[in-house]
Every structure is written in structure tokens, then in C-alpha cells.
Amino acid sequence: MIKSLTWVSLLLALLASGCTSMDTDTYGRKEGWRRARVVEVGGIDSPMKTLQTDCRSELGPNPPYTRFAVVSYNVRGSPRNKARRISAIPNDLNLQADDLVYVNIQNCLAPLRKRDALGNTP
């Protein structure tokens, strides 16, 4: 009986610690990060179009970034509901169409972050 209680306690402790570590994701949903795919890459004056947010206008007259991308991401967790926005590309990051990225939909000052298919960043 004591042996089984020890195993149950150990199992519950492992499960509890696993769930708490899920909230510490660097690119978490609560912070506004979403998995996205690059649709188009261009400069600050490129004629890129989107129905949602265009972060180029929110960065002011002298933005710290020179390249921007139209990205597509799921809305409400459904792959059928897509949104598009234009976000900044860090100057040292090489992106092209179909690359996988993280986009922050709450903060236009946060540039795109490259990711792989599993969600890992280089």
C-alpha cells in the first residue's frame, strides 16, 4: 500500500511539473505570439496588402527595420480562419516566402522570429 502511494505521489508530481513548464514558453499565446507562414517579403515602401494590421505605419517615420513581411496565421486555433498582417523582419534575419515564423499580434515593435515546423527557433 505504501509503495503504491509513493508511485502515485511521484506520478502526480511529474504531471504537475510538466503542466507548469508549458506556461514558460518564450513565444506564448498569452504574450501575443502566433505561429505563422511568410506570404511575401518587401521593403518599407513595397505595395504589400493585408486586411488586418500593417505594422509599418505603427513604427513611426524612422523605423528600426528596413524589411517587412506579410504573414498568415490561424485565428481562434482554426486552420480555416486565417488572418494576415505586415510585420517587421530583423535586419540580420533572411526570410523568404513560405518560411515559418512567430508573429506577435499584440505588439508591432516585436519583429518576426524564425521557427521550424516543430516550433523551435534557431
Cell numbers for 74, please give them: 490561424
Model pLDDT, residue 79:
77
Cα 75 to Cα 82: distance, rounded to the nearest angstrom: 6
pLDDT, tens digit, 9 for 90 and up, residues 55-83: 998 888 888 999 999 999 998 777 788 99
Model pLDDT, residue 16:
58
Cα 30 to Cα 28: distance, rounded to the nearest angstrom: 5
Domain-by-domain residue ranges, the chain? 28-114
- Helices then strands, counting H and E runs in the chain, come out as 1, 5
To 10 degrees, the CA torsion angle through 58, 63, 68, 70?
A: 0
Phi, psi of 46 (to 5 degrees): -65, 145
pLDDT for residue 22 is more than 60: no
pTM: 0.74
Phi, psi of 102 (to 5 degrees): -105, 135
117 or 103: which carries more pLDDT confidence?
A: 103
Model pLDDT, residue 101:
97
Model pLDDT, residue 114:
95
Nearest alpha carbon to residue 103 among 58, 57, 59, 55: 55
Q: For 1-122, where are the E strands, in sequence order? A: 33-43, 67-75, 78-89, 100-104, 113-114
